[in-house]
A and B are shown apart, each in its own frame.
Chain A
Amino acid sequence: MTRSVIGWVQAAPLALVLAGFLVAPIVMIVIVSFWGATEFSIYPAFQFDNYAFLFGSEVVWRVIGATFKYAAITWALTLVIGFTVAYYLAFHIRSQTVQIALFLVCTIPFWTSNIIRMISWIPFLGRNGIANSALIDWGVIDAPLEWLLYSDFSVILAFVHLYTLFMVVPIFNTMMRIDRSLIEAARDGGASGLQILRHVIIPLTKPGIMIGTIFVVTLVMGDFVTVRFMSGSQRANVGRLISNDIGLLQYPSAAATAVVLLATVLIVIGILLRFVNIRKEL
């Protein structure tokens, strides 16, 4: 066997798995997005009705806007928190044992399910919840804060809580690979702590930041459960539109929305990848 045949054979299993479980379903979704639907069935067709309705509706545009808003705010917050945590773990903790122990502490919330971590905010933030009663007892406020629950605030709070770890891990990972002698050299050269952070650590951590960004942005843009429960169905993102359509048996319309979401997320990732060469890191 020639080298190229062996190469093809070696690549075949993964290629087949990806073709069957990634490419084929996506092709199917694209096809169905042009189909039509009756009340309880779908029928093959080639029509642009679903897309026309999608782009013709002012509500849909606002929902897409909300999806980006959630992604951007969550990204900014998880980045600041994630970077700080990773920085502390990587550069302030000297002992490796403590480092690993603290890193594991970060993952403890992940021992329970996503849904439970999210739902547990509801009694905490509610009108008569723990947060409001504590604030009233301390005399900080006179009446319960309504915006704590079923608002953009609660949605973003839950997102940040759920997804910060996805920022911490890749950033911590790249930080641990930074050659410490570079930092010593910078210090010897007279750089201040802030200058080291800005000119040495951040540039070298970029691939980790980018991987974390991709995690957070795709998770937030595709989410529908968090938005549904934390906003009490009062807010929506694109994922919610899709899940509503599925609930109402409008599969072609759901598929069209899914195609738009997929394209949007791919464009966002494409732009992100222009900034940093992730492969260098892997």
Chain B
Amino acid sequence: MSKMRYSRRNLLKTGVAAAAASTLPAPMIWAQEIKDVTLRQFGTGVSNLNEVAAKVKEDLGFTLEMTALDSDSVTQRAATQPDSFDIADIEYWICKKVWPTGNLQAMDVSKIKNYDKIVGIFKSGKLTPESVIAQGTAPHTVGFVEGPDGKSFAAEETGWMTLIPTIYNADTLGIRPDLIGRPISNWSELLNPEFKGKASILDISSIGIMDMAMVCESMGEITYADKGNMTKEEIDKTIGIFTEAKKAGQFRAFWKSFDESVNLMASGEVVIQSMWSPAITAVKSRGIPCVYQPLEEGYRSWGGGIGLSKSLSGMELDAAYEYINWYLDGWVGGFLMRQGYYSAVPETSKNYMSENEWGYWFEGKEAVEPIANPFGDVMAQAGEVRDGGSFYDRMGAVACWNAVMDENQYMVRKWNEFIAA
């Protein structure tokens, strides 16, 4: 790194800086000043990883400061403190809430080198041309605006993106196959009295309500017009069913943090619960069998992306675009995919993964040798196959996206009652 800076210093005098910075993308000819740039990124913990900040410093030369918060705090900060961040790493449903405040600026896709390679989910909404678009806040519905100052979301691709997609996955229920001892294939099993006192659900309203909806629909109790935008009656009925189950002692505990879900599962307190992909692998890495069970009704999916603060301009803005291009260039993608997430541009990530890793994580093939995550923990042994199969099997079976509803505030109050009931 220091070598490169020397050559840059020799090549460039300050006057060239502005001209050079505008000819994107080319980190090599950046001005000396770029090392003084600091971009402040905040978001939910999943992709706010120190390894990414370190690699940015190494590859691009500028400093990326990261702050990890829970999703409610992220929403609040993005909505109320636009000057406290440069880059917001948020989920698409948060974008739906925050975009109308005008605190984020739309991004010009012509500056995004790998735009064409971004998977269809984030552009047309369709993974493959035959795909059916799932319910909820699907990323493409809040992914575009009409122009640089657009306030309302556009129905199709416009060339101005709200968030550049970075990370996404398909969530389902986690189970302990050794303690259940029979196949599980429906969401309704979460409320099956067989698992009385051994079930759990997450206590994060915006995600938990979607899991609840998947369960209620699977039970045949409720048919939603749109799970991602329930009416008050639907909310009452959904939470009513779960409150009844709670009073009957169905749940052992609720969890709020990742570690809690891991401990509940690993200790055997809970045998079936809503869970996140890396939590499954954390349980497995303790030598305890745990399956991220694919279910007939499909997955509840979520996606995140990075958005730029309205106040970002000049060299900082150029640095931010450079960062986005770097993000989609594959290193981060490979880093995330080796933890079980998906990258928005899978084909570039492939360059940073071994054939074995790519086969296991993306193509759903048997691992030919042990699979390790980027931190060195072994996630799967040779011969194992990823739960749910390939990328197209998993992302093709998404039933709904994490969502924010019109009746969100009513839902939040009802949720609070459910937790206190």
Contacts and interface: CB of A to CB of B under 8 A. Distances in A.
Contacts of A249: 72, 75-76
B221 to A, nearest CB: 22
Interface residues of B, number: 33
A114 interface: no
B254 A232 contact: yes
Given A39-B408, A40-B80, A234 B246 contact: yes
Interface stretch (B50-58, B139-147, B335-343, B412-420): B412-420
Interface string B305-329: 0000000000000000000000000
A247 interface: yes
Given A150-B253, A241-B420, A40 B412 contact: no
Contacts of B421: 59, 62, 236
Given A123-B267, A150-B252, A57 B417 contact: yes
A231 B267 CA distance: 16
Contact of B419 (A40, A41, A62, A233): A233
A259 interface: no
A127 interface: yes
Classify the interface of chain B: helix, strand, loop or mixed: helix
A241 B80 CA distance: 24
B360 to A, nearest CB: 32
Contact of A248 (B251, B412, B420): B412
A244 B419 contact: yes
A234 B268 contact: no
Nearest to A250: B412
Given A59-B420, A234-B253, A128 B268 contact: yes
A61 B234 CA distance: 25
A240 interface: yes
A70 B316 CA distance: 55
B120 interface: no
A48 interface: no
Nearest to B247: A234
B97 A40 contact: yes
Interface residues of A, number: 33
Contact of A245 (B203, B246, B264, B416): B416
A63 B420 CA distance: 7
Contacts of A231: 253
B226 interface: no
B420 A39 contact: no
Contacts of B232: none
A214 to B, nearest CB: 26
A247 B205 CA distance: 10
B253 A244 contact: no
A55 interface: no
B409 interface: yes
Contacts of A57: 417
B79 A41 contact: yes
Given A233-B253, A247-B72, A146 B197 contact: yes
B278 to A, nearest CB: 21
A59 B72 CA distance: 24
Interface in A49-67: 53, 57, 59-60, 62-63
B419 A236 contact: yes
A248 B414 CA distance: 12
B413 A53 contact: yes
A233 B254 contact: yes
Scoring B72, B251, B254, B269 by chain A CB atoms within 10 A of each residue's CB, the highest score goes to: B269
A282 B154 CA distance: 71
B256 interface: yes
Nearest to B251: A234
A22 to B, nearest CB: 27
A188 B203 CA distance: 65
Nearest to B204: A247
24 contacts: A38-B409, A39-B79, A39-B409, A40-B75, A40-B80, A40-B97, A40-B98, A57-B417, A59-B420, A60-B420, A123-B267, A126-B268, A126-B269, A127-B268, A128-B267, A150-B252, A232-B255, A233-B203, A233-B253, A233-B255, A247-B70, A248-B415, A249-B72, A250-B416
Interface of B: 70, 72, 75-76, 79-80, 97-98, 197, 200, 203, 205, 246, 251-256, 264, 267-269, 408-409, 412-413, 415-417, 419-421
The 10 closest A-B pairs by CB, nearest first: A232-B253, A233-B254, A236-B420, A40-B79, A59-B417, A244-B416, A248-B412, A40-B76, A63-B420, A128-B268
Given A39-B97, A248-B412, 11 more contacts: A53-B413, A57-B417, A127-B267, A232-B200, A232-B251, A232-B254, A233-B203, A234-B252, A236-B421, A248-B205, A248-B416
